[in-house]
Every structure is written in structure tokens, then in C-alpha cells.
Amino acid sequence: MSESTTQSSVTRRSFLSSGTRLGAVVLASPYLANAQAPAGTGGTQALNVGVIGTGAQGRVLLNAALKIPDIRFKAVCDIWNENRTYGERLLKKFGHDVKPFEDYREMLSSVPELDAVIVATPDWYHAEHTNAALKAGKHVYCEKLMSNTIEGARSMVKTARETGKLLQIGHQRRSNPRYLFARDQLVRHYKILGRITNINALWNRSVSDDLTWTARNEIPKATLEKYGYDDMHQFRNWRWFKKYSGGPISDLGAHQIDVFNWMLGSNPVNVMAGGGVDYYKNHEWYDNVMAIYEFHTAAGPVRAFYEVLTTTSAGGGYHESFMGDEGTLKMSENPKYTKVYREARAPEWEHFVKEGVLTKPGAGEEGAAAPSLPWEKEFKPKFTLAPPRASVVDVRETAALSAWNIPVVLDKAIHQPHLENFFDAIRKGTPLTCPGEQGFASAVTVLKVNEAVQARKMLTMKPDDFIV
């Protein structure tokens, strides 16, 4: 490893909405410091990095990592020439001297100077690729879901322990400064939600066509067989087949279900679920899944509903709502789905605005005060009377929740802070935000859903199930 004094091109400037900057900066500074690229002025260690898997997710990670100072990509590996060439060209375009490989074994043996490896291959290869890289003395950043089998995930944790190398699992929300701020400040420090009793989360996508390929870039059958793929269609659409993946609950749900455990600081005690191959004719995995978990936290039971639908985008995108008796935190990687709602019975929140913990919605945003007419004074102090009785549909209906904003915004690629956390852990020994042990617990939580769908009954989980 060599020393470098490259200056970060990323500024630390305004991630906050106006009016609450000072307070929010104070509160959010640990998360910002974690999320921003190291300045390098103190002599940041350059790291040599290889990447295995440059398909859709691998490209996302490459583009995020390219923005981080002092990362030198040295090798790119993918069994598909199409992906491999893309990765090689992209990295060379940004000045990285990379060697392309089809076989990861060759990459690990031919480029010994690698400090770290990013694994972004299909789930069923995560354990094999990660274990090999760890055994070769490399630190590993492995995409989620950790593995499509619990045993595969378990082996990764064991190998990391045996080799003493770092293993970060790609649940990137854990490094997102907005998520960190929400959990550490809003939920844990200020207890703004009161007692969390329920979680409701979803990721709904409209119908999509299978991925295709051209005759020119088709992988030869012998090569596919060598790497364990039945055919080109399954190679391209591996997420839908049981051999290679955990299906939509793993591809999409894993991110959000991981946040359940992370936010609550707890693992579930049971799960029931329903799902099926309801729509697509040539897929194996359930295209629609609904699951209900039960958590036992120190504050009491929490029930969590999760749905992943791949036949409709109705329902409002992708987000996780943590619902307490005094407020609800609606989180998403997409800031437009993020909001904090105050129950009418909760103590007043105005002081949180002054302290920089919350902000008020701006014009046009949900929860914003009705805009003034052009001939009226702007920003009149808010005073609202209870709605007239006649406007209440049901006399048992409770008062509407007021909407507030979180003053922390991630102003970079959503995977970048998680990669930065990984590289900082190598360079400075800072703690990983998703070490293998925690990734394992999430993998168990997620994979149990498919098991519950198949078993058609509630499955209980013991604390030992989440521990390697």
C-alpha cells in the first residue's frame, strides 16, 4: 500500500435544509464524518481493489467506488465478456490499470497485491467467491443477500474469523447518514416515536420483461456449464431461479428487512408468510410475497409486515415505516418517500425544529402549510382549528398526523458511504456497519420467509439461529 495525499473532491457543504443548519450539523456530524470521503490530506492509504461480478449491481458499486479517493482498481472479473469488457473499459477510462479475468481463481493468484475484493456476483456464488478471497488474504465487500443458503452465509462468517480479514455485507442503508441519524438520534436518543409497536414496509415494482442477450454476446454452452448455469436465460435472469437466488424477498426485501433488525436492535422470534408464482410463467421464485414477523424488544412486542410485489408498482415505491405510539418514521433510500409523522397525542415537536432534529416541510411538500395566495402575507404563523364534525367520516377516526422532515440528506451515490465505511475499516480500523455476523442474522431473517411460504405455517426462530 502506498501513501497518497489526494484531496477529496467531495465537499462537506450543505446537506441540510435551511433554518436548522447549526443544530443539525452538531447532531449529524458523526454520520457526516462517516459518510464523507476521507480528505486524504493526512496521507490516506491507497488500496488495491479487485471486483468479481460487473453486472448491474457490480456497475453500481464501481461507479460509487470511483468517487472515493485513493482506491486503485487492479482487476476485474466476470464470466460474461459483455460485463467484463464494460467494467474494464469503465475503470480504464478513469485511469485504473486493470487486468480482466474470467475466472476468479486466476484473478486472486495473478494479482497478489490486492488488498480488497468486491463481490457482486449472483447470490449462489457469494460464499464461494468470498471465502476464496478471504483465504487469499483479501478483505471482502460482498453484496447482499449474503448467500442464498444459510449454510453458505455461515461459512463466510467462519472464514472471515479464521482469516482475520474484514467482511462487509452490502446492506448499504446501515451507512446512509440519514438512516443513521434517524435511528441514533430520532428513535434512540430523542425517542420521538414513543414505543414502536409496528413496522410496515414494501417494495412494489410493475411487471417487467426478462433480461435478454444477443447471439453475438451469448456465452458458450460449455462456459455456462463450467460455471454451473443451466442456460443463458437462467444466467441472465438468475434472480428468478431457486438454484441461484432467494427471489424477490431476497433481492429487494433483504435491504428493508435488514433495516427492521438494525433499527430495533433485535431479531424476530417468528414469521408467517404467503406468496406464490402468481403471474410469471417461466419463473421459479415467488413473484409476490407478504410476510409478518414478530419481534420481542426490550420495550415490548413489535409486529412487522413486509410485502414485495413484482406485478404492480402501486403502494408508493419502496419504504419502511416504523410506527410508534407517538410518531411514525417513514424511511427510504429515496428522500421523497422519507417523512416523520407526529401523532396528535404526542408531546409538541416544535422544539425539535429549533434544536435541528427535524425540519418543517417546504412549499409543495407533504405536510407543508397551505400556500399563501399571491396577495396574502407569506408564512403566517400556523394555527388550525379542529376539523368540523361533518368532515370526519367516522367518529372513531383519530386526528390526522402532522408531517415533518429529517434534516440529513445523502448527497452522493447511495452505496458510496457503505463502501467508504468498508475502506475506512481497512485503513483506520473503524467498525464496519454491516459485518458478516450481522449480515448472517439478516440472511436468516430473510430466507426464513421463503421457508414459511413453502411450509404454509408460522416458523419460530431461536436466538441461536442468528448466531454463527
Partner 1 sequence: MSNPSESSPSATCCASSNATAAFLILRLFLGLRAFLSGLEKFESGGTYSFENYGKTMARIANGITGASFLPSWATKAFAMPLGYIFLALGIMLLLGVKTRCALILLALVWVGLGFGLMAVQSDEGAVWIGTYVGLTVGALLLVRHNRFALLPDRS
Site track for partner 1 across 324-363, x = CB under 8 A: ----------------------------------------
How buried is residue 6: exposed, middle or buried, by Cβ count under 10 Å (0-12/13-18/19+)?
middle
Q: Which residues contact 224 (CB under 8 A, 6 or more apart)?
A: 230, 231, 232, 235
Least Cβ distance, residue 364 to partner 1 (angstroms): 18
Least Cβ distance, residue 373 to partner 1 (angstroms): 7
Q: Closer to partner 1 at the Cβ: 379 or 397? A: 379
Q: Which residues contact 164 (CB under 8 A, 6 or more apart)?
A: none
CA separation for the pair 468, 456 (Å, rounded): 27
CA separation for the pair 146, 127 (Å, rounded): 8
Q: How many of the chain's residues bind partner 1 (CB under 8 A)?
A: 9
Q: Facing residues of 201 across strands?
A: 306, 320
Least Cβ distance, residue 27 to partner 1 (angstroms): 22
Are 276 and 286 in contact by the 8 Å Cβ rule? The answer is yes
Q: Identify residues 359-418 at the interface with partner 1 (CB under 8 A).
A: 373-381
Least Cβ distance, residue 388 to partner 1 (angstroms): 16
Q: Closer to partner 1 at the Cβ: 210 or 378? A: 378
Geometric angle at alpha carbon 447, from 442 and 453, rounded to 5°: 140
Site track for partner 1 across 23-52, x = CB under 8 A: ------------------------------
Q: Closer to partner 1 at the Cβ: 208 or 391? A: 391
Least Cβ distance, residue 19 to partner 1 (angstroms): 9
Least Cβ distance, residue 452 to partner 1 (angstroms): 53
Q: Closer to partner 1 at the Cβ: 16 or 133? A: 16
CA separation for the pair 337, 147 (Å, rounded): 29
> What residue type is 87 in one-letter code?
G
Q: Closer to partner 1 at the Cβ: 373 or 393? A: 373
Q: Closer to partner 1 at the Cβ: 298 or 370? A: 370
Q: Closer to partner 1 at the Cβ: 359 or 421? A: 359
Least Cβ distance, residue 372 to partner 1 (angstroms): 9
- The three-class DSSP label of residue 20 is coil
CA separation for the pair 7, 40 (Å, rounded): 5
- The count of other CB atoms within 10 Å of the CB of residue 220 is 9
Task: Please tell me the number of Cα atoms within 13 Å of 452 on its side-chain side.
Answer: 23
CA separation for the pair 141, 424 (Å, rounded): 12
Q: Identify residues 179-208 at the interface with partner 1 (CB under 8 A).
A: none
Residues near partner 1 (CB under 8 A) are 373-381
